[in-house]
Structure 1
Amino acid sequence: MNIEHFLHNPTTNWMQEEGQYGDIVMSTRIRLARNLTDFRFPRAFSDEEAMQIDKAVSNVLIDADDEEEQHFQFSYFSLHDMPALQRKVLVEKHLISPQLADKERVGSVLLSKDESISVMINEEDHIRIQCLQPGLQLEKAYESADQIDRLLEHHLPYAFDDTFGYLTSCPTNTGTGLRASIMMHLPALTMTNQIGSLISTMPRLGMVVRGMYGEGTESVGNYYQISNQITLGKSEKDILLDLQSVTEQIIQKETEARTALIEHASIALADRLNRSLGTLLYARILTSEEAANCLSNVRLGIYLGIIQNIPIAVLNECMLYMQPGFLQQHAGTTLQPNERDVYRASLLRERLQCNRELKKGHSDEEGEDSYDV
């Protein structure tokens, strides 16, 4: 499958579905860090070593003869000669990390057809296995990652120590090499000024809060990534159970905050959410930050029943359409920041108005109540 399939598709299959607690939990991600013996870590290896690792890993996943191994149907892409804009789109779709996109040396990625699995080669470690699932599905995401992990370990010699576990470039990943992350939409906790105390509490629970694209990124549109901070001294099962427990507590707090907003500030809340919808439907200039905040408010309005006739799947598309890389990919040309703001407003306006009218028409045909701003 060529790269165009992954660049032009506005949503991935896992984004089109809605998993458990889908009103608050956007997605679950499992990432496993692995390295091969007899090779230096990517921070210090040579280009020749990088190419040997690349070939060894890709051969297992692409050229395997076993029927079970062929089931994954991976497509291989080298990032070395890939244009910067294409790499940016892959980052925005969460298919590769910003760190891999920025690498100047040999790096590549293998993507499954449905984009739920990606295997990054020569990022911070030799191998980064990533699996994504909609909603809160830690066990399912881990099972997929573990299947790929066992397949690779069957053919390749992993760097493993009986005392320390899997050896990694960064000591904070040593042990299980497991990073489990939950992408959460927490607008009510943000509106009620509770998000700060929540974030400060996380380290005491062995968790860390990051932005939408992981380490080194800030929260955009009230989306927060909650992940485990400890990989050494705990089993994979314990890490997943701890994150599941913390996530369910956050879900409860966000639900309570939403209920409180409805009970004590329903008119102000409805006004704020509908103003955001109005901005998206009629604005001619939209920065990425304003678009993200408006889309966040509309998402909250849909789940609270305040806003109707807009499918969640369309909002997921818009979250990607608003990103600088995908925006320019869609336009087919490089755009200056002010040009992107104009094009962003036009594109989101078109997508929302078109789907809103379509949804409203279906509702009217079925005799359902429709809602207008």
Structure 2
Amino acid sequence: MTSRRYIQDALSEWMKGEGPDADIVISSRIRVARNLRSYPFPMLATNQQSKEVLDRISVILKENELEQLGHFEFIQLDEWDELQKRVLVEKHLISPNLAEEARNGAVALSDNESISIMVNEEDHLRIQVLASGFQLKEAWHTANRIDDVFESSLDYAFDEKRGYLTSCPTNVGTGIRASVMMHLPALVLTQQINRILSAITQVGLVVRGLYGEGSEATGNLFQISNQITLGQSEDEIIDNLHSVARQIIEHERVARKKLMQESRLRITDRINRSLGILSYAAIMDSKESAQRLSDVRLGVDLGIISHVPMHTLNELTIMTQPAFMQQHAGEKLSPEERDVRRAELIRTRLTGT
């Protein structure tokens, strides 16, 4: 199997729209940050030191215990060009930091792309597990198993009082970031979203966009994650996010029911207009495509649209990103050319023409 297929196919296994509450929770993610005690953290490490870290971790990646979780493809990122690395970022398989700044950076990807193990990112080791739908605890179980394999062979940077030591102080403690990607169009349309997001920040959680820190919440997609890693156990962090996410799911369901009861004609018109524009537009910028794909996704969830598979909408979310479009086209595209290409891709997937 060639590693290039990770940038040729837009749809990862965890993006197929399956799993519990997948109509609202697009994905669940656990990320574990770890460092090796005997080496400077990546930002201070020499080229030789970061290479030694890479070599030590790559040996463990070949152990039988990890193979029980599936086959992993090991990719050294200095062998890939900038566009190819950006595609991995757009597919959520690596972080922007690993793509842009890492020295001797690498990633091990599972065949189904649900597990990515990043080396020499902001920290020496970052274990990421992605699951479709609302499966936070299942993702944590997998990430914990992987972490145990590494910890049995590596001496982690750990302090009895502070916990696991990381490059960024906000990750010190458990080193865990748990997050859920949620589609909340009804809460936006009923103007409840700001009140709910404000309440979320009061319980130690943070809200970001599709691509995490620094990204805008377009297409009614919100990434909700823990902000506190110190002073709480892993299970407490997971349970807190799980409980809050469950409440948000219920609020979104109530809001969707209210829309259908009080504004069925208007919401049906909005959804069908967006589907029509996506099906026939010749030019489409990223912000408009995200919003109209959100409308169509809501239409599928409400049963207003029946002929568009959810996995097609998830695929389009990735395929219409700048790097993936240019990779697919085989050439660099200007912003206007990308808008034309984006419209063409959407038309083709939705209508076959």
- Aligned counterpart, 1:8: 8
Distance in 2 separating the partners of 1:54 and 1:199: 39
C-alpha separation in 2, matches of 1:58 and 1:216:
31
Q: Which residue number in structure 2 is paired with residue 30 of structure 1?
A: 30
How much has 1:21 moved relative to structure 2? 0.6
Distance 1:252 1:70 in 2: 38
- Residue of structure 1 in register with 2:66 after alignment: 69
The aligned residue for residue 55 of structure 1 is 55
Question: 1 CA distance for matches of 2:101 and 2:191?
Answer: 38
Q: Which ranges of structure 2 fall in alignment gaps of 5 or more residues? A: none
- Does residue 279 of structure 2 align to residue 281 of structure 1? yes
- The one-letter code of the counterpart of 2:50 is A
Moved more, 197-206 or 329-338: 197-206
One-letter amino acid of the counterpart of residue 130, structure 1: Q
Maintained 8 Å contact 1:99/1:124? yes
Structure 1: distance between partners of 2:107 and 2:82: 15
What is the deviation of 1:193? Answer: 1.9
Hey, which bits of structure 1, 4+ residues long, moved more than 6 A? Answer: none
CA-to-partner distance for each residue in 1:317-367, whole Å, 9 max, x for gaps? 111111111111111111111001111111110111139xxxxxxxxxxxx
Q: Where does 1:303-314 land on structure 2 (aligned, <5 Å)?
A: 303-314=301-312
Contact 2:105-2:120 at 8 Å conserved across structures? yes
The Cα RMSD (Å) is: 1.3
Counterpart of 1:300 in structure 2 is: 298
Structure 1 match to 2:21: 21
- 2:85 is the counterpart of 1:122: no
Q: Which range moves more in the overlay, 22-31 or 211-220?
A: 211-220
Does residue 205 in structure 1 map to residue 207 in structure 2?
A: no
Encode CA deviations 1:227-250: one digit per residue, 9 max, x unaligned.
011111111111111111000111
| Pairing of 1:221-370 with structure 2 (within 5 A) | 221-354=219-352
Residue 80 of structure 1 contacts residue 104 of structure 1 at CA under 8 Å; is this kept in 2?
no
**1:80 CA displacement:** 2.3
Q: Secondary structure at the match of 1:155?
A: coil
* Residues in 1 aligned to 2:245 and 2:130: alpha-carbon distance in whole angstroms: 16
CA distance in 2, matches of 1:69, 1:234: 28
- Structure 1 distance, partners of 2:134, 2:210, is 16
> What is residue 135 of structure 1 aligned with on the other side?
133
Report the Cα offset of residue 104 of structure 1. 5.2
In structure 1, the residue corresponding to 2:263 is in which secondary structure?
helix
Post-superposition CA distance 1:42-63 (Å, at most 9, x none): 121111111111111111103x
Q: Would the aligned equivalents of 1:100 and 1:123 in 2 still touch at CA under 8 Å? A: yes
Q: Retained in 2: the 8 A contact 1:98–1:213? A: no
Aligned-partner residue type, residue 182 of structure 1: V
Moved more, 76-85 or 130-139: 76-85
Moved more, 70-79 or 20-29: 70-79
Q: Distance in 2 between matches of 1:168 and 1:224?
A: 26
* Residue type of the alignment partner of 1:251: I
Q: Any residues of structure 2 matched to 1:95-114 within 5 Å, and which?
A: 95-103=93-101, 105-114=103-112
Kindly provide the amino acid, as one letter, of the partner of residue 264 in structure 1.
E
Distance 1:69-1:302 versus aligned 2 partners, 3 A rule: closer
Aligned counterparts of 1:139 and 1:245: Cα–Cα separation in 2:
12
Q: Which residue of 2 aligns with 1:94?
A: 92
* TM-score of the aligned structures, taking structure 1 as reference length: 0.92
Report Cα offsets for 1:89-133 as digits up to 9, x if no partner.
101110001121111532111111110000111111111100000
1:266 and 1:139 mapped to 2: Cα distance?
36
Q: Which runs of 5+ in 1 are unaligned?
A: 356-373
Residue 205 of structure 1 aligns with an amino acid whose one-letter code is: V
Distance (Å, rounded) in 1 between the aligned partners of 2:127 and 2:213? 17
Q: Which moved more, 1:186-195 or 1:226-235?
A: 186-195
CA distance in structure 1 between the aligned counterparts of 2:243 and 2:160, rounded to whole angstroms: 29
The count of corresponding residues between Structure 1 and Structure 2 is 352
Q: What is the rounded CA distance, in whole Å, between the counterparts of 1:56 and 1:92 in structure 2?
A: 28
- Whichever residue aligns with residue 217 of structure 2, its letter is S
Residue 185, structure 1, aligned to residue 183, structure 2 = yes
Contact preservation (8 Å) 1:277, 1:294: yes
CA-CA distance at 1:17 after TM superposition: 4.7
Give distance in 2, aligned partners of 1:248 and 1:268.
28
Partners of 2:313 and 2:200 in 1: how far apart? 29
What is the rounded CA distance, in whole Å, between the counterparts of 1:297 and 1:200 in structure 2? 24
Q: Matches of 2:168 and 2:119 in 1, distance apart?
A: 16
Mapped partners of 2:87, 2:278: distance in 1:
22
The superposition leaves residues 216-266 of structure 1 with CA deviations (integer Å, 9 ceiling, x where unpaired) of 111121100000111111111111111110001111111111111111211
> Kindly tell me: are residues 180 and 104 of structure 1, through their superposed partners in 2, closer, same or farther at Cα, counting changes over 3 Å?
closer
Deviations 1:121-173 (A, max 9, x none): 11111111000000111111011111110111111111111111111111111
Q: CA deviation at 1:199?
A: 1.9
Q: Which amino acid aligns with 2:83?
A: L
Report the Cα distance in structure 1 between the residues aligned to 2:6 and 2:218, rounded to whole angstroms. Answer: 23
